[in-house]
Amino acid sequence: MVTFKDFITRDLDYFFNLNEFAELHDIDGREVPAIVDSDILKIRSDNKYERYDGVYKGEVTVYVKASDFVSRPVFGQHLRLDGKLYLVVECNEVSGILEIVLGANES
């Protein structure tokens, strides 16, 4: 019997299709289909962007298929996205999708 979870797993290929939602991004030297969102954190909380004398903490959320990663990123790990170095702030997995929140101090 086919379950709802089976349908979701098959649908991941549609969400991460380069002709639909995803774009290729360089994640730690590997080209991976991903969805990058810098606005979702603004919606969730107003405190995500702290500013201190010209320096602010920028955060971005990256959605990728869990199967595209050998190991799941962990809090505090360095991760390079499109050539820019970030720290992993949070990483959650739901239905085969990793939601990786990355943070960096910027000026």
Q: How many domains does the chain have?
A: 1
pLDDT digits (tens, 9 = 90+) for 66-97: 999 989 999 999 999 999 999 999 999 988 89
- Determine the structural domain holding residue 60 and report its residue range: 4-105
Compute the residue count for the chain. Answer: 107
Q: 94 and 88 in contact (C-beta within 8 Å)? A: no
pTM: 0.80
Rounded to whole angstroms, the Cα distance separating 88 from 91 reads 7
Of 94, 33, 87, 78, which is closest to residue 59 (Cα–Cα)? 87
C-alpha pair distances (Å), 41 with each of 30, 44, 66, 99, 100: 25, 5, 21, 12, 12
Q: State the CATH number of the domain containing residue 83.
A: 2.40.10
